[in-house]
Every structure is written in C-alpha cells, then in structure tokens.
Structure 1
Amino acid sequence: MTKEEILRTYFGYDSFREGQELMVDSIMSGRDVLGVMPTGAGKSICYQIPALYMDGITLVISPLISLMKDQVYSLNQVGVHAAYMNSSLTPGQNRTALNRARKGQYKIIYVAPERLETEEFMNFALHSQICMVAVDEAHCISQWGQDFRPSYLNITRFIERLPIRPVLSAFTATATREVTEDISCILKLKDPQVLITGFDRKNLYFEVQAPRDKDAWILQYMEKHPGESGIIYCATRKNVDEVCALLKQKGILVTRYHAGLGDEERRRNQEDFIYDVKPVMVATNAFGMGIDKSNVRYVIHYNMPKNMESYYQEAGRAGRDGEPSECVLLYAPKDVVVNQFLIEKSNENVDMDGESLRLIRERDEERLKRMTYYCITRDCLREYILRYFGEKTVNCCENCSNCNTQFEEVDITGISQTILLCVRQCNGRYGINVITQTLWGMRQAKLKAYGMLDNQQYGKLKDIGEIRLKQMINKLLLDGCLMQTNDKYGLLRIGPAGRELLSGEHTVIMKLPKEDVHAVKEQDSGKQKRRTDILNSKGLQLFEELRGIRTKLAKEEGMPPYIIFSDKSLTDMCVKVPMNREEMLEVSGVGEHKYQKYGQIFLDAIAGFTDGKKEIYYYEEEMHA
C-alpha cells in the first residue's frame, strides 16, 4: 500500500493535514524527525502510517496510560493490531503481550518509559526487529520543559543498546525554542527533519475574565452551554470539590478528578467523562494528559495556571475535532500568590544541586510573571500566546475577548504617578490590596494599624472603581513601572520605568473598554460557528439520532463514543446523506474497516430517517460562507 492508500483505507481521510506528509515521507525514507505540532494537528498519523508501511515493529513511548489505551482502541477499530504495556497491566498480561509481539501479531506497541529498561522488555527488544521508536510528549525529556520526567532519560540508553539503531521520531505540542533544541540533543537525533507547523489553534476562542464571584460566573456559563462537554480546571483539590458540589446542586451532570481521590474513583470518574455519562469534569492539572476526547467544547480555568506551557496544553484539550470551542481563564490577583507557593513547594524535594535548583526557580518565576501578564494584557490574546512560543503573527485575531471588545486609549499618566507615590511613601511594605484600598479611601482597621490613613495619597483615587484601579496597577507592573516581590506577600516596589514616570520622562497609555462593550458582545461576539451550526432543524434531528446510535454502540463495545465516529463525521453524514457504501466512504473519518464494522448500521439509520430520499439538511448559505 502507498501512504495515501493507508490514509484512506485505515483512517478514512483523503488528504494529509499541514505538515503530516513531510513527517511521513521523512520517516519512510529513514530520516529522524522532530515535530512540534499543536494539539489536534494529527501527530499520531505521522508515525502510525510509516509504522504500517515499514517492516518491523514501531515502539511508541508515552507517559500516559489513558492515551495508550485510547490509541490502541482507535487502531484496533480501524483494523490495525496494536498493544500497550504499562503499569495498568499485570505481569502476566505484559508477558502475554510480549509473546504475541514476538510472533509478529503487533505492528505498533505503546510502552511506558519506565518499562524500557526492565530485563523482560529489553530481552524482547534485543531479539526483535524494531524499525522505529516514536517519542510522544517529547518535551518530557527536557528539564527545562514544564513536565520533565526523569524516566524519559531511559530512552537514549535503551536505543544505544539495540543491535540496529531504528528511525527516531519525536513529537510534542508545546515547546519553546530552548526545549526543542534540548529534545534533539538528548535524544541524539541524526540530521533530523524538524517541523514546527505553528502553535495556532484557529478554532479556539480565548477569553480572560476577572469576575468578583467566580462561582456565579461558572453557573451563568453552564446555563448558556447546557449538555455540552467541558473541563473546569482548579488550582487546588479544595476548589475542585467545592465547584463540583456547586454544579451538582444545580442538577448538572458533573464529576471530579484529583490526586486525593482513590484510584478506583478516579478511574470511574474519568470513564464517566469520556463516555459522556457526565460530560462536565472539574479537575486539577493531574487530569487531562492523554485524554483524546474530541468533543470537549470548552475549557475553563477557575484559577490561573503557573505558566503559559501548562495553560496552552490544558486549554488545547478543547476542540480536538477542529470545531469552534472556548478557552476561558478566570483571573484573580490572589492566583499569583497561590502559584508562587506551588512553585516553592514543587522544588522542595527535587534531587538536584543548588545551582540547578536556583536556575529552575528563576525560570519558574519568570514563567509565572509571563502568565500573569497574559491575564492583564489588553492586546490580542492569541498573539500573546504565539509570541511566547516564538511565532510571529498578526496583532488582531478577531477570535479572542480582547479583539472582540471595543477599547479606547486613555492617558493615565497622572493616575499612575499617584499610584507610584503611594507605593513610595509606604516604602514598598504592602501589596496590591492595601495600596488599592488606600487610594480608594477605605476606612479599615488594618489600614489605620499600617498607618496608611496618613499616606498623602489616601483617598485620592476614590472615584475610580476597585477593579479598574487594580487593572491600572497591573498595567504598571506590565510596563515595568512597578515590580512585585517573588514571595507569598507580593509587595509592590517602584521599577526603573516608574522612576522615569515620576520624573516626567514617561507616559502611560492604557486601553479601557467602552461603556457599551457588553451590549455589543451579546449581539455579535465574533466567535466562530461550529460545524453543527450549518445544520437546519431536520439536520439536527438526524444528527441527534446518529449520535444516539453511536452512544448505544459505544456502551455495547465498552469504548468512548468518539472512537467509533467523531461529531465531525456524524455532521458530515448529515450533510452528504450517504445512501450506499461508496457514498459512506466519502464521509470524513470513515475508512474501509470502520465501514465494514459500522457503515451499514448508520446507512440504515439514514435511510430510515430520510425514507431513502436525498434532501438538504443544512443551510446552503452557511456552507458557502
């Protein structure tokens, strides 16, 4: 089979996505590759097609048990024999898998990095034809990456022990230039074909909110998105439990996930989410890596993550099917303090020398600062993210909250000088809250105890709202006029640009939202339409009927619904209304093996719904928009 025939027959696609063909061709020619491709770009296709084309076994190294299971399920569904080996299997099950592999029953084997140096697996590898080693989540090999895993260092030693060096392929979704270079160096890639397709996920809408009451905001959002699948990330287990309980009280089908739950409960809750039994998941960042759920329509961050890498990876779990989805971050200044504490705690027991720990601590603090700036910038959010990862882009995406908000530029130089004078007169002893309350003229016992009622700037900015005043302080932090200590107190100090401002050598221009911005957003948010939005009322009825059949099949076979067919495939069926085998094979995501297994079931359902007549179940103007 050619690569095109493999793509069509097994995976049901007529063409490659951006970058996939270059990766496939390079591997098939025997060249090492390094691919940095965003979530949902189809990285797995890049090594799965060469694995089916080349002689021998491909080992896919992944740290994620859930991802291994999903990938093996998916491959078996399309007619590819694959297996996984990790700690979720008993020793007997792992031995059975190895024995079958020795007999040539598997073309692709997913394996955890910890298993590479076990005597049993090494003995298998030394006496087998390993044609390729594919490293998934490759950023885990770099100690400068956000998810460094020492077990990934086993990979290089493992490859060096093999009698014949296989082709190496490494893939990741989030890596800065430094991490990308680290991956290539540690894995000892030979003249690799490096592909960075870009980090942009055009189907994702980005938004930052700073609500007074996050719980009320969440409930309002849930009311507007009934029945949709989504993830709500919280910084602490306590927040997870509280938000989950709140949503349950409102009758929302929700579950939770964090390290404080037992193994069985975590497993059950994860499956409830994947199988859409409970489509809303509230979780810490312990959840999500390797979850290949394609119909997640939103990811909400209840708290600000500690770095952009983590945020973009977690937000990227929305819209893996390419359909428009939303990524909303709920920001509060205290999130900075919580993350500072988490950074300190995470470095307490790391087995490294003092200098390395100091460098990592400085790196983590700089990342936290960049994450905080994302939450307070008035510029395009997408541009900010892409610039962070070293990608040049236009400065207006029209698909984020900042681009879709009407701003006007206002000179706040005088107000900024008042803020700086307040900070200077208290000798940098207090943080944002005390400074804001002082400028606002609040009469609190603690302000009197601190002597802030005698500050010459007390009450001078009483006409400016508290939230707006904090936004201005954040703007001064962003511009370097103010600095904040890297500890749990976050004390404000005057920065270099602030001294220029006080001497009259610097001006501050800030974008502020116009009065009518919320009304404008309600009328036309500018968000992309989802593919199901093109279906008319009868089309949506057919879609729901097909989705019901998919759910029934998934329950019978004990697998997630999206592995049978994605929402995108079901929508395409509603648009194309296939009546026979040839037409069904034209549907996106329907390959020969899936047709043999499920095609007739869905053809019968479509024929029953349409009475065998071709009708248009979509808005033609939307199709061509």
Structure 2
Amino acid sequence: MSSTDEPALKTPQQVLKDIFGYDSFRGVQADIIDHVIAGNDALVLMPTGGGKSLCYQIPALCRHGTAIVVSPLIALMKDQVDALTQLGIKAAYINSTLSPDLAREVEMRAIEGDIDLLYVAPERFATDRFLNLLDRISISLFAIDEAHCVSQWGHDFRPEYRKLDILPTRFAHVPRIALTATADAPTRKDIAENLHLSDARCFMTGFDRPNITYRIETKGNSKQRLLSFLNREHPDDAGIVYCLSRRKTEDVAQWLSDNGRPALPYHAGLSQETRQLHQDRFLREEGLIICATVAFGMGIDKPNVRFVAHLNLPKSMEAYYQETGRAGRDGLPANAWMNYDLSDIVSIRGMLASSDAPDAQKRIEQRKLDALIGLAETTKCRRQVILSYFGETDAKPCGNCDTCLEPVDTWDATDASRKALSAVYRTGQRFGPAHVIEVLMGRNTEKIRQNGHEQTSVYGLGKDIAQPQWRSVFRQLLAMGYLQVDEEGHGGVYLTEESRPVLRGEKVVEMRLDASERKRATTQRLRDFDTFFEDEDDRQMWEALRKLRRDLAQEQNVPPYVIFNDRTLSEMVKFKPRSLNEMAAINGVGAKKLDQYGLAFLDITDGRM
C-alpha cells in the first residue's frame, strides 16, 4: 500500500479521549507527543506515574507502522500488552516466554502490519534474527524505556543497552524516544551520548511525586516497626518491602504472614516459575505484600501500591527514588517508609570499597550513596533534598514528609564526637563501630581484653551516653564524612582528614536527636485514603465496584487494574454516572472499555444492584 492509500490517522487528542479515556494531557505530554509524531528524537525524564508510556504509545497510534519498544523486563511486557489489548490496541511482545510457534506468529503479524506496538528486551533486539525482522516491517518509531540502563553511571546498568547505538545509522529516518524516571546530570549526559541523542530535544517534567509521603526511621526492632507501620496506616493495602538480601526477603515474608499480613518473597534465587507465580499473585490480588530484593525494582505497573518500605538503605538516591516511585502511581496518597541503621552504612560502604570496579566508578557510586545518606540524616524537608539532587533547587518545603510534619530536634554532639573519634584512633582504626562503642562504655568483653583496650585512655569514657545514642553518633559521623569504612570490607572504620578540626576542638558538630518514639502526625493521612467517601453508601458502592472489577479480571486472567484503576473507580463513586454518556466522561473510560464494561458498572453506580 502506498503512503497516499494509507488510512487517515486520528489526532493525539482523539486517541487520548477515544482510546485511553482521558480529556486532557498532563504537563508537557502534548509537546512530547507532537514532537515525536513529527519525526523528531526525544529524551524524556518524567517521574514514575507521570504518564511516560503515553508519550510513545500515542505517537505509535498516530504514525503509520509498528512501534518497537525496548523494555528491560520480560515480566512487565505481558502486563503492558494485556493493558493495551483491553483498550483495543494491537500490541504484542517477543521474548523467551513465547514458544517458537507463537514467536513466529507474532513476527508474521508484524510483517503484515497487524501490530501497533511490539515489545522486545534489549538482549533480543541486537540479535541478527530480530534485526532482519525489523528490515522487513514498517517501523513508526523506537521507544527505549528505562533508558538509564544504558549508563554506566546509572544504578541499573545493562550492557546490552549499548547495542542500541546502531539505531541512528541502520534506521536513520525512524524517530527515537528514550524515557527514564531516574537520572542525575551525569547519567543524562551518558544516555544522550551512548544513544546518539545529543541533538535530541530533552524534556524534563520535574521529579516531584507530591502524593508520596517520605518517612525515614532508624532501626530498633525493624520487623516490629514495619508491622506497626503497616497495621497502623495500611491495614488492607498492597505494597512492596525491599530487603538487602535474599534470605531476609524470605524471613520477613514468613514473619509478616505469621502475623496476619499475607506476604510473598521475590528474589533472583527463586525459580522462574516461583517468581512468576508470586508476581502474578501480587498483580492480581488485593492487599498482598511482596518482600523483594531490587530484582523487583522496576517493571511493576500496579497503580494502587499504597506503600513501599525499605528495611535497608539502598545503594543510591536513584535506586531509592525509583523503588519508592512504585507507590501511588495512580496519584492517590501513598507512603515511602524506610528503616535503616549504622550497619547499613558500614556494610554498603564496605562493599563499594572492596569491589573490583574501576576507581572512577567507585567514586561515582560513593557519591550516590553519600547523597542518599544525606537524605536519611537531613533535618530539612526530605522532598527538597531529593529534588535538589535531581537538579530542582528551588523547591519549597513540602509539608508532606516526616521532617516537615514532625520537625527534627538537634543537639550539640561536639564532645561526644570527639570522644568517638578519639576512641577510633586509640583502638587502632581497624575495628567496627560496635566494638569501639563497647570500649567507650567500659564493657568487659573478651575482644576488649584480647586487644588490651581496657588499658586505653578512652575506656569507659562514654558511660554517660546510652548505646543506642552512641550508634546514632557513629552513624552520623560516617554520614558526615568524619569516619570512613576500611577498603578491605571488614567493617572497620578510620579517621578522615575532615575529622581533624573536630578532634582539635575547632569545629562544632550538631546532630539529629533520634527519638525512640515520635508522635505520628501522619497516621490518619494515609489510613483515610478513601476520604472521597461522603457516607456509608459511597463506601458500599466502592466495595461493589472493586468486587465487579476483581470478578471481571479473574474471568480474563488479567490484573484488576487493567480493567479500571482505583482513580477511575473513585471518580465513579464521586460522580455516580447514570448513563453511558456520563460513564464515558469518567477519566480512564475509553470507547472500548465503555462498550465492554460500561453497562456492568452502571448497574452499580446507577443503583440498579
């Protein structure tokens, strides 16, 4: 078919309303879409939940041919394709989960022009077979999702992404759009260079997620604190708990289940079948908790994740921001809660110091970790610190993080800091904080006696300070850069050059005062997520809509949010449509879904059931 014979395509606004069911674009979405439809390249930085997918999905439907979407997670592709199929869009994927016969069927559909969007992993993209397939089909655009994976300075470097540099030469006239939610300035520069997008227009829409409440605590009994947090603020909600080790994910999942909160582990050590089963259950069931390593990081489209919890410090600000970004993708209130300790700083810094990475890479990783520690220890608005890291330096205090809602007390820790630094020096600068604290407190341990530390001038010098507060002092000395972890990876700490003014009494040290129990100013904020309920009838309607959504999803073997997300259901409760025309005005109800589900949901909103 010649280009003059091809059918006319809809405008972006028509596609947005008729297919996706939304009345208006958000932010710069319209500018990005128009730019790509016109055949131009783009680099898009937009927060998780900000609507990145529409920036390539709508151009794919407004240009002739098939859009090729490079996505790093096989597990996500099916969910994305299921969601697009529900909208009446011709979408497919090719990955290792397909049998050879099914893969060939998808290939033939692509050659015949019967696919609007085709998803593929970067590993498969660079194979000769797939490149030869691309030579036989009409391509509308290339979308490179999670583009930070191309950068060695990023937090999820995937060397396979570097092979995408063939695009501008082999497919010179096909527009490319690279998208990511997490990239600081060096990472953005690396993405542009490695994907040959230096001349592409860069769209940065801001990194703020105002619906997320950030809260960071220091450990006591971390599991018990987690359970209290969940039962207090998320008694029935689905969420993700991140742990540093595979063993811990299983331990925490079992412990939560034993305490009445259904939870499943997810990590790379589980079989592919088990991981898939657990992920499918998480996507399809209400109120299920996943305890995961970073293997469960990106690639979760479930919009009603109401909380993300960390039981250990992540390795970088980007990792933290991306993982917390899994919460509240629907724009409704969500929580990002973290519990961490001195041991997290020691272990991660030890791992970085002892790694085989080049020195330049180590310095980058150390800088990223330092930024995250700075966030954890700040007395300022946490959102200001996060946004400043990503280049937004003019943000005002948000009023929606723990340091805004519960202002942090500080204390003059100069004397305690001098004692701690002296103790590190007097004990040889090769022991971990736990041992040095025991020396300061005058404990009678075998390790102290073996090393003769009971004979030092610092022995018992810190009896006036309790052990938890000493741990806080050492944690903050590490965060401030006065102490460093040894490069052998054994957890020992030593003095840095920056500690000299403190030891000489030339510098005042002010520290956060860790309260054992702080009042919970935000307790009711998220527990009353359903504040749009005006009365008990609204609540009953909400539950009836959720049940109908769940039943329809089970019939089709798709996640409930693929039918309608929580925000769409909440609008149905608020506006109570009584006709198909009124139902069509609800955000998220496109033509295909109106035809498929409209009458069933009207039976509830119109009071027929």
Question: Which category of TM-score, normalised to the shorter sequence, fits these structures?
Answer: over 0.9
- Among 124, 139, 145, the residue aligned to 1:136: 145
Q: Which amino acid aligns with 2:283?
A: I
Q: Note closer, same or farther for the CA distance 1:17–1:63 as it changes in structure 2 (3 Å cut).
A: same
Q: Match of 1:483, SS?
A: strand
Q: Note closer, same or farther for the CA distance 1:133–1:587 as it changes in structure 2 (3 Å cut).
A: same
Unaligned runs of 5+ in 1: 349-355, 612-625
Q: Which amino acid aligns with 1:606?
A: T
Q: Match of 2:265, SS?
A: strand
Residue 432 of structure 1 deviates from its aligned partner by 1.4
Q: How does 1:70-469 map to 2 (within 5 A)?
A: 70-162=79-171, 164-189=172-197, 191-224=199-232, 225-276=234-285, 279-340=288-349, 343=352, 357-394=358-395, 396-469=397-470
- The aligned counterpart of 2:7 is none
Residue 592 of structure 1 deviates from its aligned partner by 1.3
Range with greater deviation from structure 2 (496-505 or 238-247): 496-505
Q: Note closer, same or farther for the CA distance 1:117–1:215 as it changes in structure 2 (3 Å cut).
A: closer
Q: Which amino acid aligns with 1:583?
A: E
Q: Given the alignment of the two structures, is residue 68 of structure 1 paired with residue 74 of structure 2, yes or no?
A: no
Deviations along 1:115-168, whole A, 9 cap, x unmatched? 223333222211322121110011111122111112112222255223x52001
- The aligned counterpart of 1:472 is 473
Q: Distance in 2 between matches of 1:529 and 1:191?
A: 47
- The aligned counterpart of 1:351 is none
- The aligned counterpart of 1:579 is 578
Q: Distance in 2 between matches of 1:464 and 1:132?
A: 63
- The aligned counterpart of 1:353 is none
Q: Which amino acid aligns with 2:140?
A: C
Residue 340 of structure 1 deviates from its aligned partner by 4.5
Q: Alignment identity in percent?
A: 37
Contact 1:542 1:606 in 2 (8 A): yes
Q: Match of 1:407, SS?
A: coil
Q: Distance in 2 between matches of 1:343 and 1:311?
A: 17
Q: Distance in 1 between matches of 2:47 and 2:474?
A: 34
Deviations along 1:175-220, whole A, 9 cap, x unmatched? 1111111111111126311011121111111111222211222222
- Among 510, 530, 533, the residue aligned to 1:532: 530
Q: Which amino acid aligns with 1:533?
A: T
Q: Distance in 2 between matches of 1:209 and 1:409?
A: 15
Q: Distance in 2 between matches of 1:277 and 1:230?
A: 10
Contact 1:340 1:487 in 2 (8 A): no
Q: Distance in 2 between matches of 1:398 and 1:433?
A: 36
Q: Match of 1:79, SS?
A: coil
Residue 495 of structure 1 deviates from its aligned partner by 2.7
Residue 448 of structure 1 deviates from its aligned partner by 2.4
Deviations along 1:280-334, whole A, 9 cap, x unmatched? 1111111142110111111111222222221211111111111111111110222
Deviations along 1:552-607, whole A, 9 cap, x unmatched? 00000110000110011101100000000111111111111111111111001222
Q: Distance in 1 between matches of 2:210 and 2:289?
A: 23
Contact 1:219 1:247 in 2 (8 A): yes
Q: Note closer, same or farther for the CA distance 1:394–1:442 as it changes in structure 2 (3 Å cut).
A: farther
Residue 20 of structure 1 deviates from its aligned partner by 0.9
Q: Note closer, same or farther for the CA distance 1:508–1:190 as it changes in structure 2 (3 Å cut).
A: closer
Q: Note closer, same or farther for the CA distance 1:342–1:94 as it changes in structure 2 (3 Å cut).
A: farther
Q: How does 1:591-606 map to 2 (within 5 A)?
A: 591-606=590-605
Q: Match of 1:40, SS?
A: coil
Unaligned runs of 5+ in 2: 1-9
Residue 172 of structure 1 deviates from its aligned partner by 0.4
Residue 534 of structure 1 deviates from its aligned partner by 2.2
Q: Match of 1:14, SS?
A: coil
- The aligned counterpart of 2:566 is 567
Q: Distance in 1 between matches of 2:219 and 2:415?
A: 27
For normalisation by structure 1, the TM-score amounts to 0.91
Contact 1:554 1:564 in 2 (8 A): yes
Q: Match of 2:157, SS?
A: coil
Residue 514 of structure 1 deviates from its aligned partner by 7.1
Range with greater deviation from structure 2 (566-575 or 453-462): 453-462
Deviations along 1:445-504, whole A, 9 cap, x unmatched? 222222222222322332222222222223333333333334433333333332112323
Q: Which amino acid aligns with 1:364?
A: E
Residue 526 of structure 1 deviates from its aligned partner by 8.3
Residue 39 of structure 1 deviates from its aligned partner by 0.4
Q: Which amino acid aligns with 2:412?
A: D
Q: Distance in 2 between matches of 1:344 and 1:259?
A: 24
Q: Distance in 1 between matches of 2:178 and 2:607?
A: 47
Q: Match of 1:205, SS?
A: strand
Contact 1:117 1:158 in 2 (8 A): no
Q: Which amino acid aligns with 2:549?
A: R
Range with greater deviation from structure 2 (212-221 or 130-139): 212-221
Q: Given the alignment of the two structures, is residue 10 of structure 1 paired with residue 19 of structure 2, yes or no?
A: yes
- The aligned counterpart of 2:544 is 545
- The aligned counterpart of 1:620 is none
Equivalences, count: 598
Contact 1:254 1:278 in 2 (8 A): no
Q: Match of 2:513, SS?
A: strand
Deviations along 1:92-112, whole A, 9 cap, x unmatched? 211111111121111111112
Q: Match of 1:165, SS?
A: coil
Contact 1:321 1:567 in 2 (8 A): yes
Contact 1:253 1:279 in 2 (8 A): yes
